[in-house]
Amino acid sequence: MAVMAERRNVGQLFNKRWLLVVVYVGIIFFLSAQPGLKVPGSFIYKDKVAHALEYGGLSLLMHGAVRTSWPHVGPVRRALLTLLAIAVLAASDEWFQRGIPHRDSSPFDWMADMLGACLAQAWGVMRGPQRGRA
């Protein structure tokens, strides 16, 4: 009985939601590795909006994965832990971009990443628990 419960707990930690998070992070780093990649359009802050949307999406995916893996942890604690992980990922992404030709790295890009992540986490916390969804 205890072995079965332990297997289920391990299964919860490594569910398909975490696979989506890993794939999404892989896409972020793949795009970051593209020399000279620019956001199309003429809006002056288009790159900051793209950063916020990109990391807002990551934040929503991670919110679902964390909520599924650790359902008994409070929503604010889950959000803070998720934001900490995203802050490290975003900083790593900016550091990685420093070595890519014709790409720039900026603390303002990191702040845009975190703004998107924070807004997504706030939305997730305000929505409350999802009944009937795992």
pLDDT digits (tens, 9 = 90+) for 47-102: 999 999 999 999 999 999 998 888 898 988 999 999 999 999 999 999 999 989 98
Contacts of 102 (CB under 8 A, 6+ apart): 35, 36
Instruction: Count CB-CB contacts under 10 A for residue 47.
Output: 17
On whether residue 27 sits in a domain, the answer given is: yes
Instruction: Name the strand (E) or helix (H) holding 84.
Output: helix 75-97
Structure tokens at 25: 């992070």
Structure tokens at 85: 């992980």
On whether residue 132 sits in a domain, the answer given is: no
CB 61 within 8 A of CB 24: yes
| Rounded alpha-carbon distances, angstroms, from residue 101 to 33, 46, 98, 110 | 9, 20, 8, 19
On whether residue 133 sits in a domain, the answer given is: no
Q: Is the pLDDT of residue 1 over 80?
A: no
d(C-alpha 105, C-alpha 99), whole Å? 9
On whether residue 100 sits in a domain, the answer given is: yes
On whether residue 117 sits in a domain, the answer given is: yes
Number of domains in the chain: 1
Query: Looking at the whole model, is its pTM more than 0.85?
Result: no
Reported as a pLDDT band with limits 50, 70 and 90, residue 124 is confident
On whether residue 36 sits in a domain, the answer given is: yes
Domain limits for position 68: 2-127
pLDDT tens per residue, range 4-36: 454 555 555 567 899 999 999 999 999 999 998
On whether residue 41 sits in a domain, the answer given is: yes
On whether residue 9 sits in a domain, the answer given is: yes
Structure tokens at 11: 């299964």
